[in-house]
Amino acid sequence: MHRYILHNDQIHEASTPVLSPGQVGLLAGWGVFSTLHVASGVLFAWERHWARMAKDAALMHVPLPDAEYVRRGLLKLVEANKAYDATLRVVIVRNGGSIWEGPPTGRASDLIALTADLKDWGAGVKLTYIKQARHSSCVFAGTKILSWSMNLRWVEEAHEKGFDEVILLNERGEVSECTSANIFIAQGVKVWTPPLSSGCLPGVTRDILLHNIHPAGYVIGEKVLLPTEIYDADDVFITSTTRALLPVLEIDGRKVGGKGSTQKVLQAAFESYVESYIAEHQAAIVK
């Protein structure tokens, strides 16, 4: 984590005690968050990230500040940390709603943001499975909320066993997602990712691939996936804001993918989209 954090509209040293045990959202994981890629000083896909946060916040009854207020605060944090190419975490924490809430602060929620260096994820990842990890019929399925400890524990356990991440299966044994990434497979020129009805989170990179990346001859869509289909796929990769499109090398010690060029084609198309987005938004800043 970098030196400075954003707390509401103020920049503080990360060690500054600005949070309180009486903030219900901190004690109960009652809040929403998103992780953004800061590219050349631009908050990549900011509109998509905020739209998802707003949707999840409405479902969880987390009061949101004004979107422009948040965006300007995040840019101020980027400048303070000189984090022009970095990862940024933005969090909205609900402050009330329990017998454990502290004295009123006058704010229904708090804005917290921090930045960190980009991570090198290597050439690919090794995965394993977790059964019954997503309940697709739950009303909160697919929401990105602060109650994240189960995901962290699954990843920790995977690391202890020599894996990088896990594939989470839902109650029907279908592939849903990873703890912090969506998953795609390629069967020839057809590319599939589990539908939201699988219980997966609607990732921003996933959304861009489904709606904005159109390499000639390729079809990208949603389809219910079973573990057996992953083993037979020509290419397997995971997507997230911090990973872009990262190949899957093995699942439970069994090599997968690597039989086609689809991941590389889509990666190049995605990088082109990112470059165009950055150029457009840098031009807007200059104007």
Task: Summarize pLDDT for 1-26 with one digit per residue, the tens.
Answer: 999 999 999 999 999 998 888 889 99
pLDDT (tens digit, 9 = 90+) per residue, 222-278?
999 999 999 999 999 999 999 999 999 999 999 999 898 999 999 999 999 999 999
Domain span including residue 210: 125-274
Domain count, the chain: 2
Residue 236 lies in a domain: yes
Segment (H or E) for 71: helix 67-81
Last residue of a domain, one of 53, 81, 116: 116
Q: Are residues 107 and 134 in the same domain?
A: no
Q: What is the pTM of this model?
A: 0.94
- What CA–CA distance (Å, rounded) separates 252 from 139? 31
pLDDT of residue 113: 98
pLDDT of residue 286: 44
Residue 281 lies in a domain: no
Sequence-distant (≥ 6) Cβ neighbours of residue 56 within 8 angstroms: 32, 62, 143, 144, 145
pLDDT of residue 22: 85
Q: Are residues 51 and 151 in the same domain?
A: no
CATH number assigned to the domain comprising residue 155:
3.20.10.10
* pLDDT exceeds 70 at position 284: no
Q: Are residues 225 and 130 in the same domain?
A: yes
The encoded tokens of residue 116 equal 């960190």
